[in-house]
A and B are shown apart, each in its own frame.
Chain A
Amino acid sequence: MFDITGKKSWFFLISAVVILIGIISLASFGRLQGGIEFSSGSMMSVDFEQDVSSSELKAELANLGYNNAIVQSVEGGNFYIRTDKLSDEKKAALEAALEAKLGNLEETEFHSVSPMVATETANNAIIAIAIAAIGILLYVTWAFHRMPKPFAYGTCAVIALVHDALVVLGIFSIFSALWDWEINLMFITGILAVIGYSVNNTVVIFDRIRENQTRGINPDFEVVVNSSLVETIGRSLNTSVTTFFVVIALLLFVGASIMNFAVVLLIGIVVGTYSSICIAPQLLLVWEKGEWGKILPSLRSAPAKTKGG
Chain B
Amino acid sequence: MARKNLMVLAVVIALFATALWIILPIQGERLGRQGMRLGLDLVGGVHLVYQAQFPEGATSDEKARDMDRALETIQNRIDKYGVVEPIIQKQENERIMVQLPGFTDMEAAKSLVEQTGFLEFREVEVNSEGNAVYLSEYLEDSPDGFFNNNIAGNRLFTDEGLNPLVFIEKDGAGNLTYTDEAGESVDIEEIRNEVDRISKLPDLSAAALLSWVPARGDDGTPLTGNLLMTAVPDIQSTATGIEAEVAIEWDETGSIIFDQIAERLYNSGPYGIPQRALGIFLDNSLLSYPQILESSYNGKASITGNFSVDEVERLSNLLESGALPMPLEKPPLYEEKISATLGANFIDMSLLAGLIGIILVMIFMIAYYRIPGILASIALIFYGTLVMALFKLIPVTLTLAGIGGFVLSIGMAVDANVLIFERMKEEFRAGRTLGAAIETGFNRAWTAIRDSNVTTFIICAILFWLGSSIVASAPVMGFALTLFIGVAVSMFTALAVTRVLLRLFVGTRLAQRISWFTAYSRKEQ
Residues on A lying within 8 angstroms of B by beta carbon are 37, 87-88, 106-114, 116-117, 120-121, 124-125, 127-128, 131-132, 135-136, 139-140, 143, 185-186, 188-189, 192-193, 195-197, 199-201, 203-204, 207-208, 211, 231-232, 234-235, 238-239, 241-247, 249-250, 252-255, 257-258, 261-262, 265
Contacts and interface: CB of A to CB of B under 8 A. Distances in A.
B426 A231 contact: yes
A87 B330 CA distance: 10
B472 A113 contact: yes
B447 A207 contact: yes
A272 B146 CA distance: 83
B408 A193 contact: yes
A291 B334 CA distance: 53
Rank and list the top 3 A-B pairs by shortest CB-CB distance, nearest first: A196-B459, A246-B357, A243-B411
B15 interface: no
A243 B361 CA distance: 8
Given A88-B331, A245-B360, A121 B472 contact: yes
Contact of A108 (B342, B463, B475): B342
Given A199-B455, A200-B456, A258-B401, 9 more contacts: A108-B339, A112-B331, A135-B458, A136-B455, A185-B475, A189-B476, A196-B456, A238-B368, A247-B408
B339 A200 contact: no
Given A110-B337, A254-B404, A262-B404, A235 B418 contact: yes
Q: Mostly helix, strand, loop or mixed at chain B's interface?
A: helix
Q: Mostly helix, strand, loop or mixed at chain A's interface?
A: helix
Contacts of A199: 452, 455, 459
A116 B470 CA distance: 11
Nearest to A195: B459
B419 A235 contact: yes
A201 B335 CA distance: 39
Given A108-B339, A196-B455, A249-B353, A189 B361 contact: no
A241 B364 contact: yes
A95 to B, nearest CB: 12
Contact of B401 (A113, A244, A261): A261
Interface in B437-455: 444, 447-448, 451-455
Interface in B467-514: 469-472, 475-476, 479, 483
Contact of A207 (B365, B448, B465): B448
A44 to B, nearest CB: 9
7 contacts: A108-B339, A112-B331, A185-B472, A189-B463, A197-B456, A235-B418, A249-B356
B227 interface: no
B353 to A, nearest CB: 4
Contact of A257 (B110, B346, B405): B346
Contacts of A195: 459
A117 B405 CA distance: 25
Q: Interface range on chain B: under 10, 10 to 19, 20 to 34, or 35 or more?
A: 35 or more
Contact of A239 (B333, B418, B453, B455): B418
B337 A132 contact: no
B406 to A, nearest CB: 10
Interface of B: 41, 49, 106-107, 110, 331-339, 341-342, 346, 349-350, 352-354, 356-358, 360-361, 364-365, 368, 400-401, 403-405, 407-408, 410-412, 414-415, 418-419, 422, 425-426, 444, 447-448, 451-456, 458-460, 462-463, 465-466, 469-472, 475-476, 479, 483
B334 A139 contact: no
Nearest to A201: B452
B451 A253 contact: no
Nearest to B419: A235
A246 B466 contact: no
A197 to B, nearest CB: 7
Nearest to A157: B455
Contacts, number: 220
Contacts of B444: 211
Contact of A189 (B110, B335, B401, B452): B401
Given A189-B401, A242-B365, A245-B360, A232 B422 contact: yes
Contact of B335 (A111, A128, A186): A111
Contact of A242 (B364, B448, B483): B364
Contacts of B472: 37, 111, 113, 117, 121, 185
Contacts of A114: 331-334
Contacts of B460: 196
Given A110-B106, A203-B448, A238-B418, A254 B331 contact: no
B361 A250 contact: no
Contacts of B335: 110-112
B462 A128 contact: yes
A88 B107 contact: yes
Contacts of B107: 88
Contacts of B455: 136, 139-140, 196, 199-200, 203
A204 B414 contact: no
Nearest to A135: B458
Nearest to A237: B418
Nearest to A113: B334
Contacts of B483: 193
Contacts of B368: 238
A120 B469 CA distance: 9
Given A139-B455, A261-B404, A253 B448 contact: no
A139 B27 CA distance: 41
A117 B356 contact: no
Contacts of A211: 444, 447
Contacts of B422: 232, 234-235, 238
